Amino acid sequence: MKVTVFSSKRYERDFLRQHPTLTRVTPHIDFEFLAMPLSEGTAPLAAGSDAVCAFVNDALDAPVIARLAEGAVRCILLRCAGFNHVDLAAASKHRIKVLRVPAYSPFAVAEFAVALLLTVGRKTHKAYNRTRESNFSLAGLMGFDVNGKTIGVCGTGKIGRLFAKIMLAFGTTVLAYDVYRNPEAEAMGVEYVSKDDLFARSDIISLHCPLLPSTRHMIDAEAIRKMKTGVILINTSRGELMDMDALIKGLKGKKIGACAMDVVEGEAELFFDDHSGEILEDDRISMLMSFPNVLLTPHIAFCTDTAMLNIWGTTVSNMLEFKEAGPDATLTNEVIIQ
């Protein structure tokens, strides 16, 4: 079985080659690792492969899928949970299976959302830089207690529920909005409310829903208008859940107290590569990074040793299941158009 891996980074290749669990199976798979992302231009490089392995910012729209089909690729192995970047109708038309890793470590992402909150809340990133310069002043380092706050969780799936559980342990009130109420979350003490109610009552709002037409720009000017002045926004889900123009306006107008993001609209052009020394062309990302109360990390919430093992373990088992069951079987982690 030949698999062309796009957007592959050295840390992943080393992990795959060295991990004792994975090295038992990986020698039987002919991996070709390419650092470049998947695009219409690079898709022909996969010609003759049984599968391509793609990550969150690889393009998998209809033209790319058509190029993959021309090269007789029969399977797309997503080494991520989200599939908002895949044209499923195009994949189905070309009889290309789409397999994903539905859950690799919700703990990794939920814990990172907490880390973002505590970092903007206690300014640990600023204190760290300051002490390295032998500046031990406390000026400007006043933070806030999370205890006693009202937390709004948008999306109570695997990650949102864990985030809510951790927040409850901090002694907070947790409100949630989701299209489905989760009984496990309710049993923990989470109160489901309408989206507007969540916006109006929360001191801190954390986003954990997938990017869908119904969630794109769910944080827009209207939503921000309904929020408390000084609200803290945390986004570890997808950048496009936030309207960047509205976010910048909310920050400039001091309606938003702070915003911590692991994902941002336009990240595909920048993230996972070193652009230091370049002038960034994305004016909105540049502006966001200039705000002292904005914390931006490069989509690393998933990046733990446990998550990496699960990502590659599931990707390899998806690949082997596809090989054994063939193109007509319905596979365990297949993404099917609803």
What residues make contact with ligand NAD under the rule CB under 6 A? 81-82, 103, 106, 109, 154-160, 177-180, 208-212, 214-215, 236-238, 262-263, 299, 301-302
Query: 46 or 104: whose CB is closer to ligand NAD?
Result: 104
Closest CA to 233 of 251, 245, 217: 251
Q: Which residue has the tokens 């003759």?
A: 48
Query: In whole angstroms, how close is the CB of 302 to ligand NAD at the nearest point?
Result: 3
**Min separation Cβ 165 and ligand NAD, Å:** 13
C-alpha dist (Å) from residue 146 to 120, 174, 207 = 11, 12, 17
54, 73 Cβ separation under 8 angstroms: no
Rounded (to 5) percent helix, strand, coil in the chain? 40, 15, 45
Q: How far is the CB of 241 from ligand NAD (least distance, A)?
A: 8
Closest CA to 48 of 107, 4, 96, 114: 4
User: In terms of DSSP bridges, do strands 2-5 and 30-33 run parallel, antiparallel, or are they unpaired?
Assistant: parallel
Active-site entry in 161, 208, 238, 240:
238
- Amino acid at residue number 144: F
- By beta-carbon proximity to ligand NAD, the closer residue of 110 and 331 is 110
Q: Which residue is nearest to ligand NAD (CB)?
A: 157
Under 8 Å between Cβ of 301 and 108: yes
- Cβ proximity to ligand NAD: between 41 and 189 the closer is 189
Residues with Cβ within 8 Å of residue 271, at least 6 apart in sequence? 57, 298, 299
Shortest spacing between CB 202 and ligand NAD, in angstroms: 14
**Of these residues, 67, 100, 161, 299, which one is catalytic?**
299
267 is catalytic: yes
Instruction: Say whether 28 is catalytic.
Output: no
Question: 301 or 319, CB closer to ligand NAD?
Answer: 301
DSSP structure class, residue 86 = B
Q: How far apart are CA 272 and CA 11, in angstroms?
A: 11
Are 203 and 174 in contact by the 8 Å Cβ rule? The answer is no
> Nearer to ligand NAD by C-beta: 79 or 97?
79
Backbone angles phi, psi at 278, to 5 degrees: -100, 160
| Min dist. Cβ of residue 112 to ligand NAD (A) | 7
Name the residue nearer to ligand NAD (CB basis): 68 or 81: 81
Smallest gap from Cβ 79 to ligand NAD, in A, equals 11
Catalytic residue ranges: 238, 267, 299
